[in-house]
């Protein structure tokens, strides 16, 4: 990725995080595009070059992270077992845009995120982002395994399982006051998946 593309991606992430932070603090209906742009240090026009709405900006973090996971998976060694490659790709990109040290972990933040995720506009954008992310990951799995994206279930089942694991980890992080290490939770989620989800 060239310098220009990298800077554009960094700005997309910055705008998305600004939208999330302000929405958690003020509520979705109390945040304007102008507020998000100012928080990220750009003009509203620049915001509109990247996103068509506040909700799209909020959902963009999920979409960008999934795209990064797919790219990371493509870059893994071809002889690496599929699920190990997936675990490594997810672990490398799950915290895209914010490290664990930078991410707020207090009860107020988690409550604000939960409230934000209940807004219909955000739910709609997240569904769209999730669908696109899952399709991109399925295509990557199909390339890696030599399966047919249009005819075979396998790449879609893998992509759906990865999406479910990421969702479960995210939900658990939002429900807990303490913040367990993300990498540890991810590895546990994929360990259980690859073991066939045996009864605890």
- For residue 5, pLDDT beyond 70: yes
* Average pLDDT value for the chain: 86
Residues 15, 199: Cα–Cα separation, whole Å: 42
CA 131, CA 142: separation in Å to the nearest integer? 16
Backbone angles phi, psi at 53, to 5 degrees: -160, 165
Least Cα distance to 89 among 150, 165, 152 occurs for 165
Distance CA 96, CA 79 (A): 26
- The pLDDT value recorded for residue 194 is 87
pTM of the model: 0.78
Residue 63 CB neighbours (<10 A): 21
Domain map (residue ranges) of the chain: 55-194
- Range with the lowest mean pLDDT among 82-86, 89-93, 96-100, 149-153? 96-100
Percent of the chain predicted with pLDDT > 90:
52
> What is the rounded distance in angstroms from the CA atom of residue 13 to the CA atom of residue 9?
6
Residue 100 has pLDDT above 90, yes or no: no
Pick the closest to residue 60 from 86, 97, 30 (CA basis).
97
pLDDT, tens only, 163-194: 999 888 888 877 776 666 777 888 899 899 88
CATH superfamily of this structure's domain 55-194: Tetracycline Repressor, domain 2 (1.10.357.10)
pLDDT band at 113 (very low <50, low <70, confident <90, very high): confident
Least Cα distance to 85 among 71, 64, 66 occurs for 71
Lowest mean pLDDT among 49-53, 56-60, 88-92, 170-174: 170-174
* Residue predicted with more confidence, 74 or 183: 74
Q: What is the pLDDT of residue 95?
A: 53
What would the pLDDT profile of 7-50 be if each residue is shown by its tens digit?
888 899 899 999 999 999 999 999 999 999 999 999 999 999 99
């Amino acid at each position: 990725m060239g310098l220009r593309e990298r800077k554009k991606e960094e700005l997309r992430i910055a705008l998305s995080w600004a939208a999330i932070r302000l929405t958690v603090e003020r509520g979705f209906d109390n945040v304007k595009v102008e507020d998000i742009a100012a928080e990220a240090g750009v003009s509203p026009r620049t915001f509109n070059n990247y996103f068509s709405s506040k909700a799209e900006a909020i959902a963009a973090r999920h979409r960008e992270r999934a795209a990064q996971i797919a790219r990371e998976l493509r870059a893994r060694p071809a002889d690496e077992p599929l699920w190990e490659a997936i675990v490594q790709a997810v672990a490398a990109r799950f915290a895209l845009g914010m490290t664990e040290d930078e991410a707020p972990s207090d009860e107020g933040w988690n409550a604000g995120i939960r409230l934000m995720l209940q807004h219909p506009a955000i739910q709609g954008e997240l569904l769209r982002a999730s669908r696109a992310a899952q399709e991109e990951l399925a295509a990557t799995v199909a390339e890696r395994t030599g399966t047919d994206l249009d005819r075979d279930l396998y790449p879609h089942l893998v992509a759906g399982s990865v999406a479910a694991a990421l969702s479960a980890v995210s939900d658990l992080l939002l429900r807990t006051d303490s913040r367990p290490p993300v990498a540890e939770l991810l590895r546990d989620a994929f360990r259980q998946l690859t073991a066939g989800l045996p009864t605890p």
